């Protein structure tokens, strides 16, 4: 079982964005879609936590 993707810092977020770019340049596969989905969830979670901290 693979571990979930968790983003803790702006640096992690930047790395996730870079990984999304890399994945988008690759051919479509089921694994690619799973990783993109996991990255999207992790990035959204980080953005929501950051928003809550700003409030």
Cβ-contact 40, 23 below 8 angstroms:
no
pLDDT of amino acid 9: 96
Say what the pLDDT of residue 53 is. Answer: 84
Give the Cα separation of 12 and 51 in Å (integer).
17
Sign of CA dihedral 11, 20, 39, 26: negative
Tens of pLDDT along the chain (55 residues) come to 477 899 999 999 999 999 999 999 999 999 999 999 999 999 999 999 998 887 7
pLDDT of residue 54: 79
């Amino acid at each position: 079982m693979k571990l979930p993707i968790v983003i803790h810092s702006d640096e992690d977020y930047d790395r996730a964005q870079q990984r999304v770019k890399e994945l988008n340049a690759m051919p479509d596969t089921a694994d690619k879609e799973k990783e993109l989905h996991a990255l999207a969830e992790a990035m959204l979670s980080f953005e929501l936590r950051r928003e809550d901290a700003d409030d």
